[in-house]
Structure 1
């Protein structure tokens, strides 16, 4: 059984189905923000797909945002996207940088 939440699973399923991903990571970064424990509001996705071939980075991001428009309209506050072609992924060091700490919120 997966320990990912409902929103994370929805993101994973939608991206896998729409993009036929070669590699996919859905990382819940909500814990880094001033939200209740177990929240699913801030995510980073690492998506590798042949469908990105020939697309500029902004078009890749727009494609991912369009696929996840429902989640973005209903609870997901932030989505960080790493979108690569399989060739770019293979040539990379496959190390995903950590997101910076939250600088906003409700005064910690």
Structure 2
């Protein structure tokens, strides 16, 4: 199974996201330290979930890293996260800053 699909499955099960975007940035890191020759080692991820209500940015990221722990150990070298509540996502869409 592709790594991006594994990320999608795990985050969907854990966070029931209203919005989930996973972008494979691996090609931007080819030849760099930590780049996996198989690809799918660097990702940017947007997760919009009610589970982030009341959590600060650091705790939100800890939740996501915890859910993806095995993939981070074995396959994913870098993960750029954007974690938002539905209200924050709506505000960002309305202001055009998401």
The TM-score range, normalised by the shorter chain, is: 0.7 to 0.9
Corresponding residue for 1:49?
A: 49
SS in 2 for 1:63: helix
TM-fit CA distance, 1:12: 0.4
- Where does 1:61-72 land on structure 2 (aligned, <5 Å)? 61-72=61-72
* SS of 1:27 mapped into structure 2: strand
Q: CA deviation at 1:57?
A: 0.5
- Counterpart CA distance in 1 for 2:69 and 2:92 is 28
Match of 2:22 in 1: 26
Distance in 1 of aligned mates of 2:59 and 2:67:
12
Report if the CA contact (8 A) 1:31-1:37 is conserved: no
Shift of 1:31: 0.6
**SS across alignment from 1:89:** helix
Q: 1:15 aligns with which of 11, 17, 23?
A: 11
Rounded to whole Å, the distance in 1 between the matches of 2:10 and 2:53 is 19
Matched residues, number: 92
**2:89 alignment counterpart:** 89
| Deviations, residues 21-65 of structure 1 (Å, cap 9, x unaligned) | 000001100010124676010001100000000001000000000
Question: Residue 55 of structure 2 aligns to a residue in which SS?
Answer: coil
**TM-score after normalising by structure 1:** 0.79
Q: How far apart, in 1, do the equivalents of 2:36 and 2:72 lie?
A: 18
Distance 2:38 2:23 in 1: 13
